[in-house]
Amino acid sequence: MLQLGILDLCKRGRQRAAGDALRGTLTLAMEADRLGYHRYWVAEHHVEDSAEACPEVLIPLIAGCTERIMVGSGGVLLRYYSPLKVAETFLTLEALFPGRIELGVAKGPGVTSNAVAEALVGGNKWELTDEAFERKVFELARYLVNAHQPGDGSPGVRARPYGVAPPPLWVLGSGSKSQQLASELGSSYACALMFPNGMALGPKLVADYRRGIAGPRTGARACIALSVICENSEAEAVAQNRALVAAGMFESNVVGTPEQCSARIEAIAAENGVREVLLANWLEDPAQRIATYRRLARAMSLPASHTTSSDRPALRAVA
């Protein structure tokens, strides 16, 4: 059985108030928990049509109003932040909600203006390079691993709070560089198929990732992220997809009735060799998003209740 999760993009449009969009995210998260979805990730986008610029704020709110579902970031745009601060934020969340937090990081800019990106790093443009991002990911992994043991008073910078098991680290991406980074790090890998060429590249990226982490088991896992439009009739779904594309969104990966979407999601998961799938859509109305995920939950026979996995993916020790 597939493990299904939700990647919430919190599209708000130009007319919807940010507070309404964010409350819609909380409502959808509670419904996802009830329906039996495995994880709920929130994106980070610094753009006008999204209300999710701060996953670290939303994650504890979501975890606090749900019971079982894994909650995480999809993902923190690490190029803009201190790895130490990100590590301490997510260790704190893990201490508050043990076994339920996941830390996804992504290289994508998440902005529509270079000026916004430069403002986020205080004008330090070097932080926006691929080299800086990769260095930050390894630093983040070190801080997470080293924080697991209580402090002994020795010199050096360590993330706090001490003695907290690190939450699973996921590298998100849609190209070969993110896949190679996840392989080298030994972290879990989420391959986004929602962008141009994603469907064509996905199977190779996931297969290369699996070869890259061959050897001693790290507990690392792979999943894929798909965009979906699920309506009661195929004509409705096709019309909705066309309208979203006309509004500037990407073509959705999966479009159709609940039964058609269920079969297509299963087929794409099999093509990519994964049993974990994140689902997203470009809809602005929270009520429409909830209806979409209810239809999919019924079609894919998700359990009404589930237990949080006790498998804790371990990061490779990073020298």
Domain harbouring 103, CATH code: 3.20.20.30
Q: pLDDT at position 305, please?
A: 46
| Tokens linked to 57 | 């704020």
DSSP collapsed to 3 states, the chain: CCEEEEEECCECCCCCCHHHHHHHHHHHHHHHHHHCCCEEEECCCECCCECCCCHHHHHHHHHHHCCCCEEEECCEEHHHCCHHHHHHHHHHHHHHCCCCEEEEEECCCCECCHHHHHHHCCCCHHHHCHHHHHHHHHHHHHHHHHCCCCCCCCCCCCCCCCCCCCCCEEEEECCHHHHHHHHHHCCEEEEECCCCCHHHHHHHHHHHHHHHCCCCCCCCCEEEEEEEEECCCHHHHHHHHHHHHHCCCCCCCEEECHHHHHHHHHHHHHHHCCCEEEEECCCCCHHHHHHHHHHHHHHCCCCCCCCCCCCCCCCCCCC
CB 146 within 8 A of CB 194: no
Specify which residues 226 forms β-bridges with.
279
**Residue 314: inside a domain:** no
Q: pLDDT at position 152, please?
A: 54
| Tokens linked to 83 | 């790895």
**Residue 60: inside a domain:** yes
**Residue 307: inside a domain:** no
Low-confidence stretches of the chain (pLDDT < 70) are: 14-15, 149-155, 214-218, 305-319
**Residue 73: inside a domain:** yes
The structure tokens 């026979």 sit at 301
Q: pLDDT at position 153, please?
A: 53
- Decide: pTM greater than 0.85: yes
Rounded to whole angstroms, how far apart are CA atoms 309 and 319? Answer: 29
- How far apart are the two ends of the chain, measured CA to CA in Å? 37
**Residue 286: inside a domain:** no
Provide the pairing of β-strand 76-77 with 70-73: unpaired
Q: pLDDT at position 312, please?
A: 40
32 lies in which domain range? Answer: 3-223
Q: pLDDT at position 110, please?
A: 84
**Residue 294: inside a domain:** no
The structure tokens 């195929």 sit at 234
**Residue 288: inside a domain:** no
Q: Domain tally for the chain?
A: 1
CB 44 within 8 A of CB 7: no
> Within its chain, how far is the Cα of 9 from the centroid?
10
- Residue 74 is which amino acid? G
Q: pLDDT at position 174, please?
A: 93
